[in-house]
Amino acid sequence: MLLTGAAITLFGGKGGVGKTTLAAAHALALADSGQRTLLVSTDPAHSLGDILDVRLGDRPRRVTGCLWAVEPDAEATVRRRIIQVADEARTVVPDEVMPAVRRHLRHAAAAPGMVESALHDRLIDYVDQVPETWDRLVVDSAPTGHLLRMLALPTLLAPWVHGLIQQRERARAVDGFAASVFDPEPGRDPVVEKLRARQRRLAAAAARLRTDAAVCLVTVPRRAVVAETRRAAAALRDDGIPLGVGVVNQVPSRVDTAVLTELRALFAPVGWVEVPLLDTEPIGVAALRALPRLTGAEPGP
């Protein structure tokens, strides 16, 4: 069930189409071929452990052979980040200001998008470990909208970080005298240095997603799902994210041929595979290995 040769493969699609099962089967096939493979869930509603029939947590766990899997704890990641930011703030913020900083951080921890941002940071951590620690990274993504926002975050946040750097540098220029009095190393701004490091990390992540990654869109032969798949494919192309092989899952013996023809045309440039509708859901490593052989097509000319 090798669906793509990309070092980093993300499985996306509408909720309930079987992304987790197919991501797990693909990762298992890679591991069985001898490649050190990490399977990561970035869906806050984790179900990866249920499919593998193993208990997963916030750190990678060996499932079998060369396969490891992890369900990052987004809330724990946010808490660790808040603690880290508060510790760093103590080095540049007067003591009397710290209570206000802590209040701000508590509010920020509950802000919309923090969980997605935390999961994205964890994903970047694992991307950075390819190929030194892992030969291949397989990502069981959140439903389509979450996936598209996550993939766009590096590009969206980079100008914001650049703006913060400019504001910080203007403030230091205005208050140059205070900086010369209080800075232990005149001319060095640890806040700007951290922002620049963040900016470089986001830029590197965006570049890797466009060179070393592919998104395999999973869909089912139902018209409403096909419409969302088409929009997702267009959005990924617009963002410069390579599309991997398309997966048409849960294909019944009697299927709407018009819908199937539409899906085959959509995936023709990258190729597609078709997975039959099964009587039971494959749970556990043995069942994933026993999935029926896929039928599919190579990319068109």
Query: Percent of the chain, pLDDT > 70?
Result: 75
Q: Rounded to 10 degrees, what is the CA torsion of 110, 114, 116, 117?
A: -170
Query: Percent of the chain, pLDDT > 90?
Result: 43
Which carries the bigger pLDDT value, residue 13 or residue 83? 13
pLDDT of residue 121: 84
Digit-coded pLDDT (tens) for 5-57: 789 999 999 888 999 999 999 999 999 999 999 999 988 778 999 999 999 99
pTM of the model: 0.81
Judged against a pLDDT cut of 60, whether residue 242 lies above it is answered with: yes
pLDDT of residue 264: 93
Please give the full DSSP string across 20-59, using - where no structure is assigned: HHHHHHHHHHHHHTT--EEEEE--SS--HHHHHTS---SS
Fold classification of 8-78+109-297 (topology level): Rossmann fold (3.40.50)
Which carries the bigger pLDDT value, residue 262 or residue 117? 262
Digit-coded pLDDT (tens) for 46-70: 899 999 999 999 999 999 999 999 9
Q: pLDDT confidence of 177, banded at 50, 70, 90? A: very low
The mean predicted confidence, pLDDT, of the chain is 82
